Amino acid sequence: MRFLFPLGSLLCTLASASAADGFDRPIPQAQSATAEFWFALASLALVAALVAVQRLVARS
């Protein structure tokens, strides 16, 4: 019974290593104009939120 666990873990290790595929590096895609617009809008919203928080904290 004490040999069952090491044997099982060895078999699982061998099976997973042989079934694994190699790592395929992802190819970056170009940004569309729509994505750039929404990123700019989100950036402006973040700056506006930071200014609002700074004003609230400065009042206290």
User: What digits encode the pLDDT tens for the residues 36-53?
Assistant: 999 999 999 999 999 999
Examine residue 17 and state whether it is found in any structural domain, yes or no. no
Number of domains in the chain: 1
Length of the chain: 60
Name the pTM for this structure.
0.51
Specify the pLDDT at position 55: 95
Examine residue 10 and state whether it is found in any structural domain, yes or no. no
Q: Is the pLDDT of residue 11 over 70?
A: no
Q: Is the pLDDT of residue 10 over 60?
A: yes
State whether the Cα torsion 14-18-19-22 is positive or negative.
positive
Range of the domain at 52: 33-59
Examine residue 13 and state whether it is found in any structural domain, yes or no. no
pLDDT bin (cut points 50, 70, 90) of residue 15 is low
Q: Is the pLDDT of residue 7 over 60?
A: yes
Examine residue 20 and state whether it is found in any structural domain, yes or no. no
Examine residue 21 and state whether it is found in any structural domain, yes or no. no
CA distance 6 to 60: 63
Examine residue 43 and state whether it is found in any structural domain, yes or no. yes
State whether the Cα torsion 17-21-22-24 is positive or negative.
negative
Examine residue 55 and state whether it is found in any structural domain, yes or no. yes
